[in-house]
């Protein structure tokens, strides 16, 4: 009897002990789940942005900052757009984490850029964006490589950044803007198109360029493309990065009078236009590299001088006003007439046997000759055929309104590209579900990202970091200041 009671009490104690242990394990398991939830679904993802917020290029830096902040607004808040990323709140796929940008100012100084980047990297940002101009971006890229942190550059377009030889940060670098190779290919394809479809008679070309490291690389690409196209380069003119005037440079170009002029530079393009107009030199086409084409002063100068021979690459999708203007032009007549006023005799004297003694346009008439080396009006015409533009991009229009509310400006190509750098990073983090640096960079390199706000509609990087989806199209500036699409690859 006593023995039975003893065993019963012992069994009861054992059962009680097992129950207690089980409850303890369950409590520990629940706590671990809570810890895991907090670890993999953070409240905030910090992204570093180095920009020239003060100094010579502060306008570029402030515009880029505003565009990046609009991107954060799109990511963190819900917007009524036909775009999954904009409809949600936070980074879908990463616990709806919010994005916060941490800025540093390189003060428009290449030497100070590395320190500005380090200040952010030392804070532990998960990735970097920026830095506007190619020389600043190169310095940030070097620091990101040392820290094993991904860098997504929006607008920097130097070939050196992704050639795989100049710099060694290719693994960690990603650039959205088209590079000069892509830009040049579009330009020279258009020249070929004009010669084939309009008998434009373009045989010679000239180039004016800023004497900087990144412009010189673009110049190399220009020469390669000109050779492939069978065009003779009549004149090549270098000038400083901050020219006070371009009178001497313009004089050399006017004397050579090539059929087409290419300009690799910035806001100084307006000064060249004024010089050409004063000398009555009208190239059949003027190809505008880099950001100078979108400078508001260029459109104003072209309007005031009655110039309509400009062509450049545009990134921003056609705006509603541009679409309406294009449709009006299409309804009125099938093309915009662009007079070419350089004399072919001037080209002949400069080019030798390869030059043309007369230039024949779409009408088939020959141009009158003038004294050697002096540009005179001729009757040939180059027709910028308008592409029948589709309806404007509603998502881009919405983004631009948010941008205008912050800046009072239209959104430039550079601003839109910097906007996209933040968007792409958020998309990549959402795809991989982590901010692990190796995994994040691998996802950036191996995936395509929707970009409904861009003309191209998507972004994809190759192993060197170049976006392989051509995001631009060729436009001309009309007399009323609209950028109308004339050609696309």
Domain boundaries, the chain: 44-177+393-454, 181-314+318-390+475-487
Architecture in CATH for domain 181-314+318-390+475-487: 3-Layer(aba) Sandwich (3.40)
Structure tokens at 215: 């412009």
Tally of CA atoms within 13 A in the half-sphere of 251 that contains its CB: 4
Q: What is the pLDDT of residue 41?
A: 55
Residue 130 near residue 137, CB atoms below 8 Å: yes
- The continuous run of DSSP H or E covering 173 comes out as strand 173-175
Q: What is the pLDDT of residue 128?
A: 98
pTM: 0.80
Cα distance between residue 472 and residue 455, in whole Å: 7
Cα distance between residue 67 and residue 418, in whole Å: 6
| Domains 44-177+393-454 and 181-314+318-390+475-487 in one fold | yes
Give residue for tokens 């449709």.
327
- The continuous run of DSSP H or E covering 249 comes out as helix 247-256
Q: Is the dihedral of CA 65, 68, 72, 78 positive or negative?
A: positive
* CA angle centred on 86, ends 84 and 87, rounded to 5°: 65
Along the chain (489 residues), what's the average pLDDT of each consecutive run of 10 residues? 53 54 42 46 88 93 97 97 94 94 96 97 96 93 97 93 92 95 94 92 96 87 95 95 86 97 88 94 92 79 88 87 64 45 35 34 32 32 55 87 95 95 97 94 96 93 94 83 81
Backbone angles phi, psi at 242, to 5 degrees: -130, 70
Cα distance between residue 217 and residue 51, in whole Å: 23
Q: What is the 3-state secondary structure (H, E, C) of 99-160?
A: EEEEEEECCCCHHHHHHHHHHHHCCCCCEEEECCCHHHHHHHHHHHHHHCCCEEECCCCCHH
Strands 310-314 and 232-239: unpaired
Structure tokens at 223: 């020469």
Cα distance between residue 275 and residue 387, in whole Å: 31
Residue 102 near residue 120, CB atoms below 8 Å: yes
Cα distance between residue 65 and residue 170, in whole Å: 24
CATH class label, 44-177+393-454: alpha beta
């Amino acid at each position: 009897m006593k023995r039975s009671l003893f065993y019963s009490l012992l069994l009861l104690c054992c059962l009680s002990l097992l129950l207690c242990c089980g409850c303890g394990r369950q409590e520990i398991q629940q706590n671990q789940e809570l810890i895991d939830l907090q670890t993999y679904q953070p409240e905030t993802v910090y992204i570093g942005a180095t920009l020239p917020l003060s100094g010579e290029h502060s306008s570029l830096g402030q515009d880029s900052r505003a565009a990046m902040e609009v991107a954060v607004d799109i990511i963190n808040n819900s917007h009524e757009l036909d775009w999954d990323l904009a409809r949600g709140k936070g980074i879908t796929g990463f616990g709806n984490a919010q994005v916060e940008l941490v800025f540093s100012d390189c003060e428009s100084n290449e030497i100070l850029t590395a320190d500005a980047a380090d200040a952010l990297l030392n804070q532990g940002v998960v990735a970097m964006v920026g830095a506007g101009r190619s020389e600043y971006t190169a310095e940030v890229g070097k620091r990101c490589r040392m820290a094993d942190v991904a860098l997504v550059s929006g607008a920097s377009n130097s070939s050196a950044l992704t050639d795989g030889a100049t710099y060694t940060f290719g693994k960690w670098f990603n650039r959205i803007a088209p590079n000069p190779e892509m830009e040049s290919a579009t330009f020279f394809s258009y020249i070929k198109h004009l010669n084939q479809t309009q008998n434009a008679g373009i045989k010679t070309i000239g180039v004016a360029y800023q004497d900087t490291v990144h412009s010189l690389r673009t110049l190399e690409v220009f020469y390669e493309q000109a050779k492939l196209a069978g065009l003779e380069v009549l004149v090549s003119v270098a000038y400083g990065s901050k020219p006070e005037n371009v009178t001497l440079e313009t004089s050399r170009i006017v004397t050579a009078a090539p059929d087409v002029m290419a300009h690799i530079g910035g806001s100084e393009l307006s000064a060249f236009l004024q010089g050409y107009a004063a000398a009555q030199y009208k190239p059949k086409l003027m190809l505008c590299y880099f950001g100078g084409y979108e400078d508001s002063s260029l459109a104003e100068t072209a309007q005031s001088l009655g110039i309509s021979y400009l062509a450049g690459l545009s990134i921003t999708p056609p705006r509603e006003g541009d679409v309406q203007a294009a449709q009006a032009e299409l309804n009125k007549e099938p093309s915009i007439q662009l007079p070419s006023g350089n004399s072919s005799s001037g080209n002949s004297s400069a080019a030798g046997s390869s030059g043309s003694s007369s230039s024949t346009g779409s009408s088939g008439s020959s141009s009158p000759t003038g004294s050697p080396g002096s540009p005179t009006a001729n009757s040939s015409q180059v027709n910028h055929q308008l592409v029948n533009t589709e309806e404007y991009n509603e998502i881009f229009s919405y983004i631009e309104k948010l941008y205008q509310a912050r800046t009072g400006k239209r959104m430039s190509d550079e601003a839109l590209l910097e906007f996209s750098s933040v968007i792409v990073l958020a998309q990549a983090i959402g795809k991989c579900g982590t901010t692990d640096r190796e995994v994040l960079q691998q996802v950036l390199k191996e995936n395509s990202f929707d970009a409904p706000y861009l003309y191209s509609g998507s972004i994809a990087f190759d192993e060197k970091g170049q976006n392989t989806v051509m995001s631009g199209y060729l436009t001309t500036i009309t007399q009323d200041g609209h950028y109308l699409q004339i050609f696309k690859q």
